[in-house]
Amino acid sequence: MQSSRAPIDMTRSDRKGSGRPPAVWVVAGYRAGERTQLVALAEALQWPFEVKRLKYRSYDFVPGLWRVPSLAGIDKDASTPLRPPWPEIVISAGMRNEPICRWIKARSGGQAKLVHIGRPWADCANFDLVVTTPQYRLPKRDNVQQNLGTLHRVTEASLASAAKTWSHAFDHLPEPRIGLILGGNSGPYTLGPNAGRALGSLASATAGRNGGSLLISSSARTSCAATDALISAVDCPHFIYRWSADEESNPYLGILALSDSFIVTSDSVSMLSECCATGKAVLMFDLEGGQTHTTDFRAGANLYRLLMRAGPRRLTRDLTLFHQRLLESGQAAWITDDRSGRTADSGPDDVAAAVTRVRALVTE
């Protein structure tokens, strides 16, 4: 493993007084939701940024556990080069990336500011800024930005563009259109056939009351069994997108743009945040079985609940804290408290709040 006492290369672009904006590196996340958040923040800063894509080794978790600045966890030949000039801002997420970001800061002579999204595994003091959300239960500190929802790329411009692209695909469906957004198995939450059928029935009834239709989108975590069960219970006009890795064919943004309201499964903080960002009404479907369906058994979900009760808090997320914040702020309601006819209350602009804090790191 590379020593944290390696010689420091302080070569940097001297931007002070030059009028040039700070340079930003995005150390790409290894999960899709994280990658979206990182790029969303970088784009919102409106500063030049580079995305550093890494190839991880099988033992990539070891440097993270040891909390040392190191590149030992990546294959440097297969990764985007990390070399001077060093950036002013490094944006990243995930335990595997923490040693790399700390290595970059060490090489920059401590000048690079580290911005971590989500929950860090090292102490928050190791970062200049942590942008987080309620489910991680991080302590209140000066360098911790507590947002309501996750960062996202849902803007007026992106929605307008998506509406133009996808309007033809939905023109034949009656209004009002409800976007039905599906997550999947995650932590204590299970989206199986039982929940799928119950959700399909409830969503159909919600759309049918107003003579409307459903715009349905699955995601990378949605099982085929759950999707099939849901579709079997849908008895109203609908569009269905089954997720694939081909991003160009993904109508997700179009569904956000062209739906009049949303129903979202309770497991996905990112999709709930994105739907809320549209300013339209959002209903949550509880995957813990509290809304008129029989839960789907999954051993992993039961183990996760046990870990939440008896294990270290840092190993779990408590999404009920996030749900409660959405309810209190008027951003969402449970589907059993149907408010699809009302407009959502305007919530905080979490992206703008994060941008303000990151910019302050440079001006300081």
Q: Please name each of the domains of the chain with its CATH number.
A: 24-147+352-363 (3.40.50), 156-347 (3.40.50.2000)
pLDDT at 30: 81
DSSP annotation of 136: G
CA distance 7 to 4: 9
CA distance 41 to 25: 11
DSSP annotation of 352: H
CB 178 within 8 A of CB 203: yes
pLDDT at 47: 97
Q: Classify residue 155 by burial, with Cβ atoms within 10 Å: 0-12, 13-18, 19+.
A: middle
293: nearest Cα among 349, 347, 233: 233
pLDDT at 66: 79
CA distance 256 to 252: 6
pLDDT at 29: 81
pLDDT at 5: 33
What is the number of residues in the chain?
A: 364
pLDDT along the chain (364 residues), means of 10: 37 56 93 90 96 92 83 94 97 95 96 96 95 95 96 95 96 97 95 95 94 97 96 97 86 97 96 96 88 78 91 90 95 80 63 96 86
DSSP annotation of 173: S
pLDDT at 64: 77
pLDDT at 13: 44
CB 103 within 8 A of CB 67: no
Which string of DSSP letters, residue by residue, matches 257-310? HH-SEEEEETT-HHHHHHHHHTTSEEEEE-TTS-SSSPPPP-HHHHHHHHHHHH
pLDDT at 17: 53
